[in-house]
Structure 1
Amino acid sequence: MNLNLEIVPYINYIFAVIFILCVGYQFIYIFVPFMKGGRKLKTKKMYHYAVLIPARNEEKVIPHLIASIKGQTYPSDMIDIFVIADNCTDNTAKAALEAGAFCVYQRDNKELVGKGYALDFALAKIREDYPDNDYAGYFVFDADNLLDERYIEEMNKMFSNGKRIITSYRNTKNYGTSWVSAGCSLWYLRESRFLNHPRTLLNTSCAISGTGFLVHREVLEKVGGWKFFLLTEDIEFTLHHVLEGECISYCDKAVLYDEQPVKFKQSWRQRMRWTKGSMQVTQKYFFKMVKGIFTGKGFACFDLAVATMIPLILTVLAFAVYVVFITLGLIFRLNVDVILRSLLETFVNSYFMLLGIGAVTTISEWTKIFAPMRKKILYTFTFPFFMLTYIPITIVALFTKNVSWKPIYHLEAKSLNDVR
């Protein structure tokens, strides 16, 4: 068999070109805020909101979230806090009530596990228990979150100006704890500042990312509650509503702080679920998004498909190509050095690309990152390593069938002043 392994670097270049063609436009996003300022909005009306907080064994952190909601500049009598104590074995329900939650629902279901099921359960209970409620929209937070004092006031400004789904600026409570927490935090800061912010300025749709968002009641009533149960229910929610013609907006002045995993094992488990969920989303929505590109929802479908699917698809394809050529090289006793050199070159190029992304984000958000200067600098250089661990995570997820939602236990029981 005449097998020439010298073709591998050229295949690698093809993958690189495809990636640049698909993702390269995001480089322009960096400059959009400097070229196009956002329109200053005024509050047109004050609305009554429900806050939904799914919580599983979160008795240590949930009082601080509720305190930050109670401490809003927005009128407290127009905010009702609903906590879903989901399969809890601790005193989450008691802690939430003592902290001032309006209502706590206890849910026990060991088969239907995950945030999506908890949210759907809560919405159904609210419809049943408060049929005449006047909630204009629903906020969704994780129990470990903290809110800046003006969070709801700023989100309400956008809501009162006609925005039906709004996400917010996602900061972190524990950036400086470890290279793992910093890596995940830096990615969310980048997503807020250099993806969602430019998207809103360009009047295209943003993406919901786990927590810290507001949804108009009509949006949820249209689908009959929360009907998104894949492992990444936030991405599923985003793509469904973009295909339905909704435009998800971003409020840069509404700041949320959450807690990131500090140990690599925790992060691996969490990102394994995200990656498997992305595979589920890709399988369910890829062709719908491609169709959407050519049926009036063009750029938003392209942009979000690129962000949620293309890196995953290219990683899987590249892995398959390398496995095939390395296997054939070993079978026919060929020198596979050219493949190893190609892999090393890809790693180095990826490192410096991610280093650039991390550096730009760190510099841009310097004053908003609550960590010592030395850690801000150090974790900028470890950020690429954190992101590159998605490669083995993707490969393992590809061959792992039973990936399920598992809780990340939060221990950073901090107030806003502690974080700052």
Structure 2
Amino acid sequence: MTFIRIFLETLAGVCSFFLTFIMVYQIVIGFFGFKKAKKDYADHDPESRFLVLVPAHNEEKVIGDIIQNLNDMDYPKELYDFYIIADNCTDNTAEVARNLGANVIETCKESPDAPTGKPIALKKALQAIGDYQDRYDLMMIFDADNLMDTNMFREVNSQYLDKGKPDFIQCYLGAKNKKGVVAWFYYTGYTLTNRFFDLAKYRLGLNCAIGGTGFAMTTSYLYKRGGWTTMSLTEDFEIQVEATLEGRRILWNHHTRVYDEKPTSLLASIRQKIRWGQGHWYVALHNTGKLFRALSAGRISFWEFLSLLTYMYSIAAYVVAAVQLCVTTALCLVVPGRPFFDISLSGLLVGGLLFGYTYLFLFYVADWMDNHIKFSIRTIPVMIGGFFANLIVGLFNEIVGLMRCGDQQHWVKTEHAIEAKSVQEGQMQLHGKAA
């Protein structure tokens, strides 16, 4: 019995240390997100040549909007080309895109059992285009449901030229929709991380996260890698990790936005986040050893090592918290007369205070500074309810994702249907007003 008690107390201590470290780290990083966001690069005349790729699988409902958006970009037409990648489409995506004058690359599976998804579509498109490394300076990727600020190419061009031509630039990740509890929770998460995670890390000279859309990558680095080679379900996170391990730079741009359509149903959200969990666990588990070797070889700094390691395993917080709860309960059964609340009450109080700061307070600060939306007490019940619902759903997603992380072949599509008009009347009017 003594051995069991010691084991449980040790395990509880390890879990507590992990959760405390993750929370303290994020709080410290977040301090650097409070300052008003000002450009730290000079404006440059258009010079960089852009290759824009838009993977699309059965996106006939929304593909016309992004084509119109790309045609309306405030950038010389001779300096950018965009291609719609109609990937294994069974609808009229390719036909709609061609009728609107877009360049279309159609890709299909070699066999019924062949893997499919965004990474494979990107790989095939680059092979079809050919000499992209000679014709373009930067490649940008957008999802078919996206819209973007028309100044995006100008801002990326200026930052790219002014900052010594970094390998990656990730733009602000906005939302096309936030109505409904599910979409609202996505909105709160991205609003928080844009300012208090990515902008904060950029100010500290650390690599930001690559968000899967609205990011630029140098074609020279892409060509050196042999084209698009990251094939996990989270190809964005995978290329972020690989680039960081090589000592590459990933910058953040807070001054131009891409607007992504968020799921509105709980089932669609669960499917999407399980896919993200599968990919994240896979990339983290397969690159931990490489991360330590990169540190020992001097390819990355200790702070970059710590930043990436924390991000890689922040996904484990849900699982670790569940383990800690189970261990705490077990200790109450093993140790006679040891009430549950004597063990956990102080932790609950501290956790409640940290929740109020890192989730409620920081979100409202970010929403005001970046979106000019004032605090409303009516949103607090939704925020709190959504948070605790996310704890349960998040735990389920991450456990299932961990169990399935060996499968990186089956990609599940998220349906899109929001028209551009609703965005133009809402989120996109915020352009140029960010604090």
Q: Same fold (TM over 0.5)?
A: yes
* 1:399 and 2:403 matched: yes
In the TM superposition, what whole-angstrom CA distance separates every residue of 1:318-340 from its partner, at most 9, and x where no partner exists?
44454466568779999884578
Residue in structure 1 matched with residue 142 of structure 2 by the alignment: 141
Q: Secondary structure at the match of 1:300?
A: helix
8 Å CA contact 1:212–1:256 kept in 2: the answer is yes
Q: For the residues of structure 2 that align with 1:272 and 1:346, how far apart are their CA atoms?
A: 29
Residue of structure 2 in register with 1:356 after alignment = 361
8 Å contact from structure 2 (residues 46, 75) kept in 1:
no
Within-5 A mapping of 1:268-279: 268-279=270-281
* Identical aligned residues as a percent: 26
2:309 match: 305
Q: Structure 2 stretches of 5 or more lacking a match?
A: 430-435
Contact 2:5 2:331 in 1 (8 A): no
CA distance in 2, matches of 1:317, 1:202: 28
Q: What number of residue pairs does the alignment pair up?
A: 412
Q: What is the CA-CA distance between 1:240 and the residue it aligns to? A: 0.6
Match of 2:240 among 224, 238, 241: 238
Find the counterpart in structure 2 of residue 51 from structure 1.
Answer: 52
Please, which of 379, 394, 414 is the counterpart of residue 390 of structure 1?
A: 394
The alpha-carbon deviation at position 112 of structure 1 amounts to 1.8
Structure 2 residue aligned with 1:73:
74
Residue from 409, 414, 418 that aligns with 2:415: 409
Tell me the amino acid that sits aligned with residue 81 of structure 1: F
Asked whether the equivalents of residues 62 and 144 of structure 1 are also in contact (C-alpha less than 8 Å), the reply is: yes
CA deviations on 1:364-411 (whole Å, 9 max, x unpaired) are 334379xx9687666544452354232232223333465732000101
What are the equivalent positions in structure 2 for 1:219-234 lying under 5 Å apart? 219-234=221-236
Q: Which residue of 1 aligns with 2:433?
A: none
What TM-score does the superposition give when structure 1 sets the normalisation length?
A: 0.86
Q: Do the aligned residues in 2 keep the contact of 1:351 with 1:385 (CA within 8 Å)?
A: no
User: CA offset at residue 67 of structure 1?
Assistant: 0.7
**The residue matched to 1:43 in structure 2 has which SS?**
coil
SS at match of 2:372: helix
SS in structure 2 of the partner of residue 365 of structure 1 = helix
Task: From the superposition, tell whether residues 12 and 236 of structure 1 become closer, same or farther in structure 2 (CA, over 3 Å).
Answer: closer
Name the CA distance, whole Å, in 2 between partners of 1:347 and 1:16: 10
Paired residue for 1:114? 117
> Separation in 2 of the partners of 1:264 and 1:68?
29
Please give the alpha-carbon distance, in whole angstroms, between the structure 2 residues aligned to 1:49 and 1:386. 42
Alignment RMSD, CA only? 3.2
Match of 2:170 in 1: 167
**How far 1:290 sits from its partner (Å)?**
3.1
1:180-191 alignment runs, 5 A limit:
180-191=182-193
Structure 1 distance, partners of 2:44, 2:118, is 31
Does the Cα contact within 8 Å between 1:183 and 1:382 map onto a contact in 2?
no
- In the alignment, the residues of structure 1 paired with residue 133 and residue 371 of structure 2 have an alpha-carbon distance, to the nearest angstrom, of 46
Displacement, 1:198?
2.7
State how far apart, in whole Å, the 1-side matches of 2:46 and 2:81 are. Answer: 17
Equivalent-residue separation in structure 1 for 2:253 and 2:104 (angstroms): 27
How does the TM-score come out when normalised to structure 2? Answer: 0.83
Partner SS state of residue 419, structure 2: coil
Q: Which moved more, 1:272-281 or 1:157-166?
A: 157-166
Instruction: Report if the CA contact (8 A) 1:151-1:254 is conserved.
Output: yes
Q: Is the partner of 2:263 in helix, strand or coil?
A: coil
